[in-house]
Amino acid sequence: MLIGYARVSTKDQNLDAQIDALEAAGAERIFKEKVTGKTRQRPELDRLLDHLRADDVVVITKYDRLARSLKDLIEIVERIRERGAGFRSLAEDIDTTTPTGRLIFHVFGSIAEFERERIVERTKEGLAAARRRGRAGGRPAVLTAEQRAEVRRMRDEGRRTSEIAELFKVSTQTVRRA
């Protein structure tokens, strides 16, 4: 039996495209989930794994719908294999029910993990280069250095936080941070 798994990360995202692809691939049952892939608590994935029988094949549209990291992906596919079932990813055209499919699965997974790590490295390098040039990331400060000094002086005088916040037209949290 072909068993599908469809997942999106947020409640406002739509599962329709994944469901259509899984149905077109012949999935007889589809487990649907709206939860981030980062969390280990994925009740529908757990139900799918409990439901698996020997010779079933779990089918997904893309690797990232099942797992966020190579380690996680390999662990899940190993759990599928332990149940005597296979794994198939439509986008990557991988089918672990064959020796070639298993080899390609591990190669593709390694490449995906490598690319994710390179993206993180490039992002960190870009941020460091920007900092060296005097540019700081994040949101611009609401209060200038002079205003922050004035806020501290007013607090030292015993003025209420809410009063200072109203005066500078900022939140009380901004005043506390200053």
Share of the chain above pLDDT 70, in %: 98
Q: Are 17 and 73 in contact (CB under 8 A)?
A: no
Tokens 């719908």 found at: 65
pTM comes to 0.60
Query: How do residues 56-84 score in pLDDT, each as one tens digit?
Result: 999 999 988 888 777 788 888 989 999 99
Angle CA 49–115–9, to nearest 5: 45
* Mean pLDDT confidence for 116-120: 88
Ordered structural domains, the chain, with CATH? 2-114 (3.40.50.1390), 145-177 (no CATH)
Residue 171 designated active-site: no
Catalytic residue among 9, 69, 89, 171: 9
176 closest CA partner among 145, 153, 158, 155 = 155
